[in-house]
Amino acid sequence: MSDPRDVQAPSTVEAIRMASASVLGTSTGLGYSIGSAIGAGSMLEQHSASVSMNIVPLVFTIRDTLMSSEGLEILSIEWDLDRTPGSDVLPDQLVVAGGSEGGVGSHVCVLSWEKGVVDPFKINEYMKAVSKKISDVESAVINNELNYELEGISVITKFTDRLNSVLFVDMLDRRFQGSWDSLQVKPDHVDVDLVAKLEVVDDFTLLPPGMKIRGRKSLEFKLPNEPDDRLVAHFKHRVLTPSAIEALTKVVPETGQSLLNEINYYAYAVEESELVGGVVKALIEFLGKSEVSLSEIETLRPRIGEFVKILGDSINALEHIVEEHLSSGKTLTIEDHKSSLTSGVSTNSDVSSGTKNNLAICIIDGIMNSVSREFRGAREIRAWELKGTMRYVIAYAKRVLQYFSKELNQYLVTNAAKKAFFTALQEFKKETLQEDIGPTDLTLFDLFYAEIQAQLNAAFSKEAFKGTKYEDFKQLMDLVTRQLIESFKKIDIWNLIGFENVAEIAKREIAIKYAVPDSEDLTEHGEALMKLLNEFQDLVSDIIPDVADTLLSKPLIRRIIDKMLTEQASLVEELEAAVEGAGERADEWKKEAIEWVESFKTTLDDSMTKSESLLKLLNSIHEIVGETVTPSAMVNRAKLEADQREQEYQAEIQEWERTCHIIEQENVAIREHNVKREKLLDQKTQQFENQMREYELALNDYMAQMERYRAIQDAESITHGETDQTLAPPPMEPTKPLPIDAELHEIRTQYPVKEEKSIPPKPEPDPSLKYYVELRDLLQSKLDHLKEREKDMATTFGKRVLRLQAEGIGAAAMIGLDLGDEFIEYLMGSKVRGLGKSLPRITRMYLRDPKVDDLLYLVTFERRADELTVSVGNTFLR
């Protein structure tokens, strides 16, 4: 049971409690997360586990990133809280501090009503003590062989609640406030080695509002003015990795809003929320309607004023009834106390009937609900014991009375203006989407539309944060329109478009082009393209960040530095060896890492010192990371991959053509040789055939001559009886040509037949080439189309923004304003949940290296206009 509230204490004491909170989170030795929350209203404590467990991942994200990438622990993070002008007491500072002991890590998220109440080093020491105590409790649980999950966690949780309660009370007592002997680490005490400049805006699209990092303007790594050997040793302790720098320059500044949002959701008094719900219900019954139109607002103002007067009269009358009951001395059960109060209302003519009676009963319900929570399990209670609780609820009823009328009026004005704008904006969307709109235009429209919606919400939230009140919704619309026009001028669509947007457009195109008829599946070609596109997205989201963090990881850099100092090792060679020995890394990872090392190698020269080479490595990798994640860069990457494969294939074709040319030249000589052989054979054969023809003719002629000769010889013989010795000699027989075979054999031997060399088959391209080329062309065309259509879409939206106010006012007649749940939620945001009026601005962060005593890191944040300068330094060289 909580302590009864001391109504005699000054109201500022309760206000300070409402403006303070302590949310403790612990990771036990066995890895279980346990938490506790207290302060900032009764609901926070009631939902202690939910709040603390929602905050754990926010803190652990930063903690784990810094520990895994840099080996550093969070000592503290501090945000100053800007606030809506007003008399409410609100926290001035948000602090996260952590500490580890005995295998248990703990952190606390503290809201303090005044800056300086929580000194980072004092709260850090306390968190170490908390971790030690929880570690001891956990050890006792284990040593006593309790079932850890069924009993042990419950025991540890109870101790955690006690420790957090003590921490909260100690904070209220200023036990953690800095003093003259407190440890001081200021910017003058560290050497700054990293300065990042970022574009920042106050994001009023969120509640509570917060800082939003739009992008990084510059990142500068520095070398302090020290000898080279000390600077090289200093690199072992610098913040190096992109993931750590992203955490320090973006995640940490924006996490303040996330932490405040989790606390704000339950940072209110349940008594006030119950009263608000009851009063709103009574208002609806009094007016006889739960929704009003814009045209009815003016006619309802007198009735609303009458209701508020009735509410005041009811509270005053009920206060007298409550005081009489408290002084009655009765000892009753809770139900009987409620009956007694209800009886007092029914007999009091001021509140015995009508709306006053409804309101009085509503407040009594709130009082008795609070009593039930305060005295849970009690049988009979004396009336005077309820004094604190009953007066506390009456005080909240008076608070609701104070703001109810003004907030209702502001709700009607604000909601009317907001709904008018959004009705016109939705009509614009409806008109646009009815047209035949392509994937590119649809993406651009969605981005512009979402941004305009966000800017509209931001404009209304910004006015609410300022605390400005408006009587006329048209006046508010006019102001919001001017702000929206100015905001629209500053919209850079390329700050909104990421590679994932270009990829999404490409995916839609692939899905349309390669869809299997009557199915949601894709063709084999479409599946291959989609797989390749997903690989590119993985490259952006997973491979590139991991390569950067690996090459700049503390263990690797420290090992390389040790070898550089002791063995005069080469930085590039050590990096190459690290990539080659990178374990079970994917081929894509190794390919990417090798390209980075090769790129870094080209930036070095022999005149550089070791520290300058390390600094160049830092700059080289961070430049690559910064340049490879934009849409244009990724499209260029796809083009490079496709071009490389095309070039490799063209090189294969050129080599094939060169080989073919050489073979063809050799075949020409072979053909000439074979032709000459055939020609010689033909010539010899022709010559022989000619000789044979001549021989045959001569032989025929010879045979004819011989016949004539024999005829003459025979005639002479007959005539003279004997041959005449004076007869001419017989003709000479022609000589037969010699056989040709030997000569042909000689030619064939001298000119043997040669076989022509065969031409190798033409190389086929790698099957993936066509997919790379098609993806390159697809992404480039979509990016070009985006750039082309972006201007047209910006013009379309720009014209529509100018018309929104007029169209909104025109639609106002159709607008209905809910007086039920929407109004209650508005009151919860504007009054009941007080932290919604705070805007966290990051100011300072301390880190430490658990392996090096007295080594501290200071991260400072300085905001000027829309620029945030983040400086990181440490005490190593001091």
- Percentage of residues of the chain with pLDDT beyond 90: 8
Q: How far apart are CA 72 and CA 850, in angstroms?
A: 7
Q: How many CB atoms lie within 10 A of CB 754?
A: 15
- Percentage of residues of the chain with pLDDT beyond 70: 89
Q: Name the percent of the chain in helix, strand, coil, to the closest 5.
A: 65, 10, 20
Per-residue confidence (pLDDT) for residue 2, from 0 to 100: 39
* 189 against 630, higher pLDDT: 189
Write down the domain spans for the chain: 11-264+842-874, 270-414+820-831, 524-629, 635-750
Q: Is 693 exposed, middle or buried (0-12, 13-18, 19+ CB in 10 A)?
A: exposed
Per-residue confidence (pLDDT) for residue 721, from 0 to 100: 60
Mean pLDDT of the chain: 82
51 close to 432: Cβ distance less than 8 angstroms: no
DSSP helix/strand/coil, 867: strand
pLDDT tens, residue by residue, 695-726: 889 888 888 888 888 888 878 777 766 555 66
With cut-offs at 50, 70 and 90, classify the pLDDT of residue 3.
very low
Mean pLDDT of 645-649: 83
Highest mean pLDDT among 65-74, 728-737, 766-775 belongs to 65-74
3-state secondary structure string across 240-298: CCHHHHHHHHHHHHHHHHHHHHHHHHHCCCHHHHHHHHHHHHHHHHHHCCCEEEHHHHH
pLDDT(667) > 80:
yes
313 close to 355: Cβ distance less than 8 angstroms: no
Per-residue confidence (pLDDT) for residue 789, from 0 to 100: 67
With cut-offs at 50, 70 and 90, classify the pLDDT of residue 250.
very high
With cut-offs at 50, 70 and 90, classify the pLDDT of residue 844.
very high
- Least confident range from 263-272, 400-409, 654-663, 720-729: namely 720-729
Mean pLDDT of 718-743: 76
Q: How far apart are CA 487 and CA 485, in angstroms?
A: 5
Residues contacting residue 817 through CB under 8 Å, at least 6 positions apart: 291, 292, 293, 294, 297, 411, 412, 415, 416, 419
Provide the β-strand partners of residue 23: 37, 109
Q: How far apart are CA 361 and CA 837, in angstroms?
A: 31
52 close to 35: Cβ distance less than 8 angstroms: yes
Q: How many CB atoms lie within 10 A of CB 2?
A: 10
Residues contacting residue 818 through CB under 8 Å, at least 6 positions apart: 290, 291
Single-letter code of the amino acid located at 854: D
DSSP code for 611: H
Q: How close are the terminal C-alpha atoms of the chain, in Å?
A: 52
Q: Which of 641, 719, 861, 851 is nearest to 77 (CA)?
A: 861
Highest mean pLDDT among 81-85, 403-407, 433-437, 783-787 belongs to 403-407
Q: How far apart are CA 524 and CA 163, in angstroms?
A: 62
DSSP code for 519: S
pLDDT(293) > 90:
no
With cut-offs at 50, 70 and 90, classify the pLDDT of residue 345.
confident
Single-letter code of the amino acid located at 450: A
DSSP code for 108: E
Provide the β-strand partners of residue 522: 515
DSSP code for 497: -
The b-or-e profile of 454-473 (16+ CB within 10 A means b, else e) is ebbbbbbbbbbbeeeebeeb
Per-residue confidence (pLDDT) for residue 794, from 0 to 100: 66
Q: How far apart are CA 622 and CA 616, in angstroms?
A: 10
Tokens of 575: 């990096």
872 close to 192: Cβ distance less than 8 angstroms: yes
Q: Where are the beta strands (DSSP E) in 671-824?
A: 816-818
Mean pLDDT of 273-278: 90
* Helical segments of 435-521, H only: 439-466, 473-490, 493-496, 499-513
Q: How far apart are CA 427 and CA 753, in angstroms?
A: 88
pLDDT(860) > 70:
yes
Mean pLDDT of 635-649: 77
Residues contacting residue 200 through CB under 8 Å, at least 6 positions apart: 211, 212, 213, 214, 253, 863, 866, 867, 868
Q: Dihedral sign for Cα 29, 32, 37, 42, please.
A: negative
Mean pLDDT of 759-770: 82
Per-residue confidence (pLDDT) for residue 9, from 0 to 100: 33
Mean pLDDT of 28-39: 86
pLDDT tens, residue by residue, 448-496: 777 777 877 877 788 777 777 777 777 777 777 777 777 766 666 666 6
pLDDT(808) > 70:
no
Q: How many CB atoms lie within 10 A of CB 41?
A: 23
Residues contacting residue 722 through CB under 8 Å, at least 6 positions apart: none
294 close to 817: Cβ distance less than 8 angstroms: yes
pLDDT tens, residue by residue, 105-141: 888 899 888 888 888 888 888 888 888 888 888 888 8
Tokens of 563: 């070898």
pLDDT tens, residue by residue, 575-609: 888 888 777 777 788 888 888 888 888 888 878 88
Tokens of 51: 């709040």
pLDDT(351) > 80:
no
CA 352 distance to own-chain centroid: 60
Per-residue confidence (pLDDT) for residue 724, from 0 to 100: 54
Tokens of 766: 């790698």
Size of the chain in residues: 878
Q: Dihedral sign for Cα 163, 164, 169, 170, please.
A: positive
The b-or-e profile of 350-378 (16+ CB within 10 A means b, else e) is bbeeebbbbbbbbbbbbbbebbeebbeee
Q: How many CB atoms lie within 10 A of CB 94?
A: 28
Per-residue confidence (pLDDT) for residue 863, from 0 to 100: 92
pLDDT(845) > 90:
yes
Tokens of 153: 């966690």
Q: How far apart are CA 209 and CA 260, in angstroms?
A: 9
Q: How far apart are CA 245 and CA 426, in angstroms?
A: 40
Per-residue confidence (pLDDT) for residue 807, from 0 to 100: 64
pLDDT(261) > 70:
yes
Task: Say which residue the tokens 């319900």 belong to.
Answer: 365
Dihedral (C-alpha) 295, 299, 301, 304: value to the nearest 10 degrees? -110
pTM of the model: 0.79
Q: How many CB atoms lie within 10 A of CB 544?
A: 21
* 503 against 27, higher pLDDT: 27
Q: How far apart are CA 421 and CA 807, in angstroms?
A: 8
Tokens of 106: 């703990």
pLDDT tens, residue by residue, 355-389: 888 888 888 888 888 888 888 776 788 888 888 88
pLDDT(418) > 90:
no
Mean pLDDT of 792-797: 67
pLDDT tens, residue by residue, 169-181: 888 888 888 766 5
CA 813 distance to own-chain centroid: 42
Per-residue confidence (pLDDT) for residue 492, from 0 to 100: 64
Per-residue confidence (pLDDT) for residue 477, from 0 to 100: 73
Mean pLDDT of 184-206: 85
DSSP code for 510: H
Q: Dihedral sign for Cα 799, 804, 805, 806, please.
A: positive
Rg of the chain taking only CA atoms, in angstroms: 47
Tokens of 332: 């009753």
